[in-house]
Amino acid sequence: MKRLFLMLCCMLLLASCTDEKKGEVKIVSPEEMQTLIELEDIQLVDVRTPEEHEEGYIAHSQNIDFNSPTFEEDITKLDKTKPVVLYCKSGGRSAKCAKKLKEAGFVKIYDLDGGISKWKHKGLEIKVKS
């Protein structure tokens, strides 16, 4: 009986230690996001307006304007099985977008804490359209 109880406790402990649950949104720091970009095959999405995107963006990001009338259609073009990393200016729009992606059944969703403003503040690289 003790052995069964011990096994059950171990299984529960391992289950509770999983870092990410399917469909959950994980808030990441700029440093964590940079690591995700370098190590994982992700979809990096800037949810700001095209004008904001042109002023400066994180390399390899695609721009899907959260306020666009075609936003709902645009996010259907993303792969639900691949991790999605979101950012905006300060975190408001990306949090709303993350909620929509979760509702749509996306598996891994990351949201940049503090948006591109915090990314810039940390001195990380920004691209500008020329």
DSSP state of 4: H
User: Is 88 one of the annotated active-site residues of the chain?
Assistant: yes
Distance, in Å, from the CA atom of 28 to the CA atom of 15, rounded to the nearest integer, reads 22
pTM above 0.75, yes or no: yes
Distance, in Å, from the CA atom of 54 to the CA atom of 38, rounded to the nearest integer, reads 23
**Per annotation, catalytic residue among 9, 10, 17, 88:** 88
Q: Where are the domains of the chain?
A: 20-121
7 sits in which H/E element: helix 2-16
**What CATH fold (topology level) applies to the domain 20-121?**
Oxidized Rhodanese; domain 1 (3.40.250)
Q: What is the pLDDT of residues 44-82, one digit of tens each?
A: 999 999 999 999 999 999 999 999 999 999 999 999 999
% the chain with pLDDT above 90:
71
